[in-house]
Amino acid sequence: MENQQALVGSDTIAGQSVTDHSLLRRLQYGNTEAATLLYFRYAEQIRSLAAARLGHDLGPRVDADDIVQSVFRTFFRRAALGQFEVPDGEFLWGLILVIALNKIRSQAAYHRAAKRDVRRTPAMSAETEPDRRDPNALATLQMVLEDLMTELTPPQRSVIELRIEGHEVNEIASRVGCSRRSVERTLQKFRNRLTAVLEDESG
């Protein structure tokens, strides 16, 4: 707690120290300086947490900085929607910690689901295996997908998850209980959104 208080005291707007409560309120009104201060207030803590949790197995494949960026993308988007509140005098770290841990766990689950035994398979560089896709790029894609999925309704999320698993449109429609056309619209909108976000990421 002392470390957090010292950190809070070192961040100022117009020469005055600001609390997480104040920064969150400013952020919700579109104040970019508040977003910057929150980023620098917590980025290193997230980075250290990610590096420690990823360990030697996932560390070579998942960049801790990618986790940091993904956490803040999710946090800023949800904060703008008014989904977070923090009482005056308290800290946002608890909320940010939950988001960060979920991102880290999802990376471990992704690699297990992809049947990559990261304990046995050494990290490959572009020079040693140029035809293999960059694992960090795959990890980034996974985080982008997760971020976009949070924007969906439960039925829409089910449609995307079933499609990722390889199910056909008719089967998805039957499982979710909607028309084939609705499934196709959901898939198309998600593809368009994903394409736009990936273009922003690479820009």
pLDDT in tens, 118-156: 444 444 333 333 334 445 555 556 667 777 787 788 898
Tokens of 44: 């290193």
Asked if 180 and 198 touch (Cβ cutoff 8 Å), the reply is: no
Residue scoring higher pLDDT (39 or 191) = 39
Q: How far apart are CA 147 and CA 177, in angstroms?
A: 25
Tokens of 132: 């293999």
Q: Which residue has the tokens 């904060």?
A: 79
Establish if 56 belongs to a structural domain: yes
pLDDT per position as a tens digit, 10-56: 466 655 678 899 999 998 888 888 899 999 999 999 999 988 888 77
Q: Is the dihedral of CA 196, 125, 69, 49 positive or negative?
A: positive
CA 142 to chain centre: 9
pLDDT per position as a tens digit, 88-98: 778 898 889 88
CATH of the domain at 63: 1.10.1740.10
Establish if 166 belongs to a structural domain: no
Establish if 181 belongs to a structural domain: no
- Among 71, 25, 24, 19, which residue's Cα sits nearest to residue 45? 71
Establish if 183 belongs to a structural domain: no
- Regarding pTM above 0.85, the answer is no
Looking at the predicted structure, is the pLDDT value of residue 201 above 90?
Answer: no
Establish if 191 belongs to a structural domain: no
- 40 lies in which domain range? 2-128
Looking at the predicted structure, is the pLDDT value of residue 67 above 80?
Answer: yes
Establish if 100 belongs to a structural domain: yes
pLDDT per position as a tens digit, 78-118: 888 888 888 877 889 888 988 888 888 777 666 555 544 44
Packing angle of the helix pair 154-164, 169-176 (nearest 10 deg): 150
Establish if 77 belongs to a structural domain: yes
Greatest alpha-carbon span in the chain: 60
Establish if 7 belongs to a structural domain: yes
- Within 8 A by CB and 6+ apart from 132, the residues are 124
Looking at the 3D structure of the chain, how many domains does it have?
Answer: 1
